[in-house]
Every structure is written in C-alpha cells, then in structure tokens.
Amino acid sequence: MRISWIMILLVVILAAPAVQAQTDPAPKLYRWTDKDGKEHYTDSLPAEAVDAARAELNKASGSTVSKVERAMTDDERAQKAREAETAAAAAKIEADRLQNDRTLLSSYSSESELQKTYSERLILVEESVKSAQVGINSQRGSLASLLAHATDRELAGQAVDARTLENLGDAHRQLGEQKHALQRREAERKDLQNELDDLLARYRELKANPPAEPEAAARQTPVPKTGA
C-alpha cells in the first residue's frame, strides 16, 4: 500500500512540468519594419516599433499569430478623412437624386399632368411680367409729363419749383425699381421654364427606365462573402 502511494506521488511529480508546459503561453516573437524599411525580429516590442507595421509570431512554430499595419501619419489621416467626407457627400447626392426621381414619378401620373401643373405656374408668372411692364409704361408716362412741365417752365424763363424737381427724382427712382422688378419676374419665368424642360426630360427617362424600389434594390445588392 505504501509503495502504491509512492508511485502515485512520483507520477504526479513527473507530470507537473508537462502540465505546466501546456498551460504556459507560447513564447512570442515580433517581426517589425523600421522607418528605413529594415526588418527586425525581437522578443519584445521596442518603443520605436509601436507605430510600425509588425507581426506577432509563435516563437516555437514560427507561425503568424496576428498582424498590425503601421500607424498612419497626420497627413494620411487627414487625406483619409477628406476621402470619407467626399464619399459621404457623393452618397448623399445619389440618395437625394433617387428620392427626387421617385417623388417625380409618384407626383405626376403622366407627362401631360406635369406640363399642366407647370403651365399654371407659368401663366401666373407671365401675368406678373405683364403687370410689371404696364407699371413701367405708366411710370414712363408720368416721368415724361413731369419733364415736359419742367421744360415748359424753363422755356418760359421760369424756375422749376422744388416740388417738381422732387417729383422728377421720385419718378426716376420708381422707374428704376420697376425695371428691376421686371427683370426679376423675367428671370423667374426663364428659370421656371428651364425647370419644366429638365423635369420633362428626366420624367421621360424615368418612364423608360424606372428606378428600382428600395426593397428591390436592397435585394439586388450583393452581400460580401466572409472568409471561412
């Protein structure tokens, strides 16, 4: 019985190093590249290699445990941020375009309906243009009368009174304002017509090639394959 206990104790003592070897982590080896492109192998990672590209190796087997890319420079980080910002802006523009296309198709059942809606707006703008033109003609008539009155007084050897001079100044100012108003109305009419022309062209394109619905587009988007 005493011999059996001695044998058991001996087995435990002999097995302890093997168990310890199984539980201890495998020794590490680092492979890293310095700023000059030279490759190094070290048991620990020096301070100068913290931002360098490196690989952690199993010292016993030589197999790669993990890899770390080198840290980006400030310029590289700034460039990456700019690229991300540009990509985000482009994605938003594309998303807005798709949304506008769907809104255009859902708002008008036919090309004639689109034309009718804009025709009504164009009529209103055209009326405002005509109204501005009438106002300009009327103001020109008033200014001509005031000028004729002032000319008659000067020809008669009389001084032009302050009230007439003030009215002439007001008439000139109002005529200028009405001309600017007419220019704004005409620009509005031109912009509205251009908008209609662009929408009609886009509407015809979308009718010929309708955009995919969001659900269908999502189904068509390929799912990236993951490694085994």
- Domain coordinates of the chain in residue numbers? 26-71, 100-210
- Phi, psi dihedrals of residue 145, rounded to the nearest 5°: -65, -45
pLDDT of residue 63: 74
Q: Which residue has the higher pLDDT, 10 or 118?
A: 118
Percent of the chain topping pLDDT 90: 41
Q: Is 26 helix (H, G, I), strand (E, B) or coil?
A: coil
Q: Which residue has the higher pLDDT, 209 or 60?
A: 209
Which of 125-129, 146-150, 213-217, 221-225 comes out lowest in average pLDDT?
221-225
> Cβ neighbours of residue 128 under 8 Å, at least 6 residues apart?
185, 188
Residue type, 105: L
Q: Name the pLDDT band for 24 (thresholds 50, 70, 90).
A: low
- Residues 68, 46: Cα–Cα separation, whole Å: 15
Strand order in the sheet with 54-58: 39-42, 28-33, 54-58, 64-68
**226 pLDDT higher than 50:** no
**108 pLDDT higher than 80:** yes
- Residues 91, 84: Cα–Cα separation, whole Å: 10
**23 pLDDT higher than 70:** no
- Tokens 């251009």 — which residue? 194
The gap from C-alpha 69 to its chain's centroid, in whole angstroms, comes to 30
pTM of the model: 0.55
pLDDT of residue 89: 94
CB atoms within 10 A of CB 15: 10
